[in-house]
Chains A and B, each alone.
Chain A
Amino acid sequence: MSSLEQIIKDILKDTPVGEGIDLRLIVDKNIDVELTKGLELYNLEKGISINVDGQNSIISKINQINDSFINEQIGLKFKVDHLNSKAYDIETIDKTPNKWDKELIDYLNEQYENGEYLIYNDKLILKGDKSSPGNYWTGSWRSEYDLSNGKGEINIDVHYYEDGNVRLQSKKTSIEIDPKNLVKSIKKIEDDLQISLNKEFLKLNELIFKQLRRQLPITRSKMNWGKAIGNYKLGKNINQ
């Protein structure tokens, strides 16, 4: 792998879902080959959605067979031009209903913004995402489960960029669900995770953020700038 390809992959991997960077704008030579490989990795890792004949399909390693993608829920097989985010060589295949289809659709409609899912070969991806450029943010939630052993992983990624650049990233691995009671156990796990994330925010605020800079000095009054600074005695001066 060329170092150019590696750099492009590293940069793309780190960008928020829904906010690709067109690196062609900053590199002076043709990088279509390297960029295509970088985008392929990005698209498959983030499980992004591609429009296939008017229907959305998640593309991921789980439904990739050689250089094609299979989606049994919508009954299509297709290839993807990663550089232009376009599906091509689209073929119709048999739809294969899954016993969890209805429950999953109901769950996504009830719980997720732009919820989508994909099941293939005992692997399940479900995700929701939203982009609000007018309010300067994007966010995504992606869960991946192995229905054969119940193991799973959840990734949450939020980007807020009004007057700055703030990123929340949360990754929860070694999750276990009950494949026999799939959707109910997913709901339980995901509700719990969201509640514990909210608690995490409180903890980071109370325990870490407050240690960095006080809202007011311990005297409860603002600093007296000017000649009076000689009256202050330095306390915890770790510089010394």
Chain B
Amino acid sequence: MVSFVRFNPKNISTNLQKITRLNPDLTEELLSSVDVPLSISRDEEDGRKFLICDYNRDLDSYRSPWSNKYYPKLDDEDESPFPSDKLRQLEIYANDSFDVYRDLYYEGGVSSVYFWDQEDEEDSTNDSNFAGVVLLKKSTDNEQGSWDSIHVLEVLVQGSSKATYKLTSTIILDLSNDPKSTSLSGNLIRQTEKTLPITDDQSHIVNIGTLVEEIESKLRNLLQEVYFGKTRDIVGDIRSLQGISSSENDKLKHSELVKGLQGI
């Protein structure tokens, strides 16, 4: 199998289009395994912006988490997928909660949460399982930076007191300097699974929210380390700024120092 990580993350959308032109059979696999930056649409009824992805799409329209309607408007929405009434109530609560989260951490940007019902394969009387996606996007005004968070999640409810949460989190981060001569682009992915107590449906949002907050904080640290530390160190590995003989001298001095200390 071809390793998709070799495709340049900076131009990931156009690269994916090209690969699917080479082999259309790969389209599905690529769409499900490679995340691309999110696009923004506007809810005509509510006026607010929302994020679009494959999970809220039907034909060429996308369901807004605010009005629960598809845009551009569909002739007949009855055939389109919607969460059950009960899950929609939870989705509304999730969107309100993540709107606060977005404001606290991103001070701008757009957030959207989508849920869909999931059957319990082992117990057909259990109708509490669901899946969803939490999306957050922020770009700087000068377009030098953009951040996309995509948390795809599955909630498996066990009895009335606990649930297992499985999350696959991707953060896509693109940065470039002013003349655009230097760019840092890409994504980091992390999978998380945790079983937590629940008391009612709203507990799911507390649990998902707490998990997303924790994962994003960790990934933010990791992104900072990789983008600004790791890549700089690799450049330094290819081209030694201080010179290889002087860094070898340093190593020699260091080992002599260690020997000296051991002798004390």
Contacts and interface: CB of A to CB of B under 8 A. Distances in A.
Interface in B11-39: 11, 15, 18-19, 21-23, 26
Interface string B224-260: 1011101110111111110111000000000000000
B228 A202 contact: yes
Interface centre among B21, B103, B140, B185 (most CB of A within 10 A): B103
Contact of B177 (A110, A129, A198, A204): A204
Query: Chain A: interface secondary structure?
Result: mixed
Interface stretch (A51-59, A81-89, A94-102, A162-170): A162-170
B145 A14 contact: no
A225 B18 CA distance: 43
Given A26-B23, A204-B175, A214-B107, A197 B235 contact: yes
Contact of B7 (A11, A166, A198): A11
B-side interface size class: 35 or more
Contacts of A219: 104
A22 interface: yes
A215 interface: yes
Interface stretch (B116-124, B152-160, B209-217): B209-217
Nearest to A206: B228
B184 A166 contact: yes
B22 A168 contact: no
A204 B228 contact: yes
Given A163-B190, A167-B8, A200 B182 contact: yes
A168 B110 contact: no
Nearest to B181: A171
Interface string A122-165: 00000011100000010111000000000000001011110111
A173 B8 CA distance: 21
B213 A222 contact: yes
A90 interface: no
B175 A209 contact: yes
Given A171-B181, A211-B145, A235-B103, A166 B239 contact: no
Interface stretch (A60-68, A72-80, A188-196): A188-196
B243 A212 contact: no
Nearest to B43: A239
Contacts of B48: 239-240
B8 A15 contact: yes
A213 B220 contact: yes
Contacts of A191: 241
A190 B238 CA distance: 12
Contacts of A109: 244
B100 A223 contact: yes
A116 to B, nearest CB: 12
B161 to A, nearest CB: 17
B9 interface: yes
Contacts of A129: 238
B83 interface: no
A113 B237 CA distance: 7
A203 interface: yes
B15 A14 contact: yes
A93 interface: no
B52 to A, nearest CB: 14
A158 B231 contact: yes
B67 interface: no
Given A19-B6, A212-B147, 5 more contacts: A112-B240, A166-B9, A168-B234, A172-B181, A235-B107
Nearest 9 CB-CB pairings of A with B? A166-B186, A164-B188, A217-B104, A208-B145, A14-B8, A212-B147, A225-B209, A170-B182, A168-B231
